[in-house]
Structure 1
Amino acid sequence: MALRVNGKVVTPTGVIRQGCVEINGDRITAVAEYPSVRDGHWILPGFVDMHTHGGGGHTFTTGDAGQARAAAAFHLRHGTTTLLASLVSSPFDLMRDATAAYAPLVREGVLAGIHFEGPYLSSVRCGAQNPEFLRDPSFDELTELIELGDGAVRMVTLAPERDGALEAVKLLTAHRVVVAVGHTDATYDETRAAVAAGASVGTHLFNGMRPVHHREPGPVVALLAAPNVVCELVADGVHLHDGMLTFATSVAGPERAALITDAMAAAGMPDGGYELGGQAVTVAAGVARLTSDGSIAGSTLTMDAALRHAVAAGIPIADAARMVATTPARAINLGDRLGALQVGLRADLVVLDDDLNVVRVMRGGSWVD
């Protein structure tokens, strides 16, 4: 029996003010105007977070399947119906154990895949990554992880200036693993070489990157200018000034700008002491920083809060909806299955009130408790 959800429906092409989404089973079967609707809630596609380390007091960074399941459930309540489990730089044993632990959750659909943010990163731009674990890309390590994951490894962030990085990009993309450029001191030309080799994402643009300079544009300009690169943006007012958020969005367009949380376990939790990749983190006034040197250490953001922040900064809601769902889904090669309110895609949607607070969440045609 078909189910109908009525309200202000946000599609990839705009807003249907008096609209409805029709669902049969786990699929969207119709998106249309519904003139009898009056002042309904906002209906957006389920959020897709391609970069999150945890939330609700639970973390993805330790390779613990129970923790991963609980973190995914926390973000699901905030409208994130699809997410990657992001790890931070760590020893290979942990990367291998996490892949083995999370692959069943990927097959089950709890996770959309694994994202290794490191350890093949710049020590100069490591941010909150543990410098003890940073190293050059390893062909053998990556090959083993790809084979062990059997499709579970979906994205790897690396610094293109490290020895062997371009060969790693080619290896990963040959196995349909998305390569992101991040935590990098690369030059403009080094970044362009990585993009030419197949890199297609910029990890939390501006953060953990050589800054823009008019005589050496660096990675930010190279990534923004590349027509096939999706740029991650953390819309929390801490990682990026709102002026930079809207500027980057205007340059890349909503089809190449993806909002992410970069959340850690402290998302949705009180201020206090936490841990990330073996390093102590202090959260004060909702901002997570390394206890040792004050570097930003992920965020306490959720995707619904990121959406609200982006809209408050002046990004139209139809564009913001693409940035929290359609664009990240396409960036991680899931755009043919989910990420938009379109006929034939999985019935993932978020119902929001006029203040863009979550009212209800649907995943695969079923309402989430």
Structure 2
Amino acid sequence: MRQVLLGARVFTGEHILDGHAVVLEAERIVAVVPRHEAPVGVTARTLPSESLLVPGFIDLQVNGAGGVLFNESPTVDAALAIATTMRRTGTTGLLPTFITDAPDLTARACEAASEAMARPGGGVLGIHLEGPFISPGRAGVHAPRYIRQPEASDLESLTALAERLSRAGGRLLMTLAPERVEDTFLRRLSDAGAVLFAGHTAASFERTLESIAAGVRGFTHLFNAMPPVLNRQPGPVMAGFSADEAWCGVIVDGHHVHPANLRQLLKAKPRGKVLLVTDAMPPVGTHETTFTLYGHTILRRDGRLVTEDGTLAGADIDMSAAVRNCIHLLGVPLEEALRMASLYPAQVLGLEGRLGMLAAGHRADLTLLREDLSVQATWVGGIEQWH
């Protein structure tokens, strides 16, 4: 069934347009046209005139939401429940994120995400495996007992998973420490369709650049779980600044990274290479004040999620809040902040031909924002939901 969305301003991913209509048919966008060119005789939805219709947000790093933690419940229902909660905050596509854990649970999470991805309107785009091939010295809240180096069987199973998800239109994103893996491992995974990010790493500047040449495409929450920049040891953070081709995911919650560092990163990187992630945890979308990770209690305090000794454990933020923070904390223009939450994550995954823009042929994943940039409605594959 064809329908027309009218009344709102429209951000295509490139420009904000007034007096335009978005034409949908089933799960696809058919056209974005001046209102007087909109087809007649079809279902029309008049949206609030002060609202802004934008490409749906895409989040590459969501550990949990709505009281659900993917590591605690590596199931199809859990992945879909996380996506449902985050949809209320404008995220129409995400990667459920499974951090370092036991191999059997990791395998269950991969199968669950793969199955959830096939659910129409589910919003699951694949899976993000954050670990287990990370630095024990930069583990953060990851359990040291599960951190390890890859074996031949890992390469076999991960390349098969990457290929299977890619054939289905999804992606495997994997966070690893470059100093813990060989270049041949990186190349094989990259060639299979996996998206590789450096994170939870103590790699040298030189080793990090070598890994980028071997297939690493970006950085997971740059600055966090990495050594600081020193005068003779620039490390992975400065490699992120220096490698123009590498994407940098950042958590813009005002707690994980000082805004001054993020402003300098935005100045240093080519436009389009800095993107937003939430690193969200179960309290997001709830009033809960604690949750359990690896059997330990994590506390929700003053916008932060911390262990009892004060270690950050994910983030208490959603993507619409991250967009607002980009504007108010970092001085990012509205259009660029929206691209950091939609187009650029789609490009990281190689899905920019069907996600991240309002354009003919793209999937009808849309977010409707109020004037204050809070979320009013979403469409996932053309399925409408008001919040």
**TM-score over 0.5 for the alignment?**
yes
Distance 1:119 1:279 in 2: 19
Match for residue 160 of structure 1 among 175, 178, 181: 178
Amino acid aligned to 2:132? P
Residue by residue over 1:238-281, the C-alpha shift from the partner in whole angstroms, topping out at 9 and shown as x without a partner, is 11222222222232244111101100111122352212344431
Distance 2:75 2:360 in 1: 36
Q: Is 1:134–2:150 an aligned residue pair?
A: no
Match for residue 143 of structure 1 among 153, 156, 165: 156
Partner in structure 1 of residue 43 of structure 2: none
Amino acid aligned to 2:64? G
Partner in structure 2 of residue 8 of structure 1: 9
Partner in structure 1 of residue 70 of structure 2: 60
Residue range with higher mean Cα deviation, 280-289 or 71-80: 280-289
Q: Is the 8 A contact 1:146 1:153 kept in 2?
A: no
Q: Is 1:116–2:134 an aligned residue pair?
A: no
Q: Is the 8 A contact 1:271 1:285 kept in 2?
A: no
Q: CA deviation at 1:21?
A: 2.1
Distance 1:196 1:27 in 2: 36
Amino acid aligned to 1:158? L
Match for residue 103 of structure 2 among 84, 92, 96: 92
Unmatched tracts of structure 1, length 5 or more: none
Cα distance change, pair 170–220 in 1 and its aligned pair in 2 (3 A): same
Amino acid aligned to 1:206? F
Secondary structure class of the residue paired with 1:294: coil
Q: Is the 8 A contact 1:145 1:153 kept in 2?
A: no
Residue by residue over 1:78-98, the C-alpha shift from the partner in whole angstroms, topping out at 9 and shown as x without a partner, is 111110010110111111121
Partner in structure 2 of residue 77 of structure 1: 88
Distance 1:148 1:348 in 2: 25
Distance 1:302 1:179 in 2: 23
Q: CA deviation at 1:215?
A: 2.2
Alignment of 1:1-369 (within 5 A): 1-34=2-35, 39-62=49-72, 63-109=74-120, 110=122, 111-147=124-160, 150-151=164-165, 154-162=172-180, 164-291=181-308, 293-313=309-329, 314-369=331-386
Q: Is the 8 A contact 2:4 2:21 kept in 1?
A: no
Residue by residue over 1:154-191, the C-alpha shift from the partner in whole angstroms, topping out at 9 and shown as x without a partner, is 111000011x3423211211110000000000111010
Amino acid aligned to 1:337? R
**Count of residue correspondences:** 367
Q: Which runs of 4+ in 1 moved over 6 A?
A: 35-38
Amino acid aligned to 1:221? M
Residue range with higher mean Cα deviation, 216-225 or 277-286: 277-286
Residue by residue over 1:111-134, the C-alpha shift from the partner in whole angstroms, topping out at 9 and shown as x without a partner, is 100110001111111111111211
Q: CA deviation at 1:24?
A: 2.1
Secondary structure class of the residue paired with 1:73: helix
Q: CA RMSD for the aligned pairs? A: 2.0
Q: CA deviation at 1:211?
A: 1.4
TM-score, normalised via structure 1 length: 0.93
Q: CA deviation at 1:214?
A: 3.1
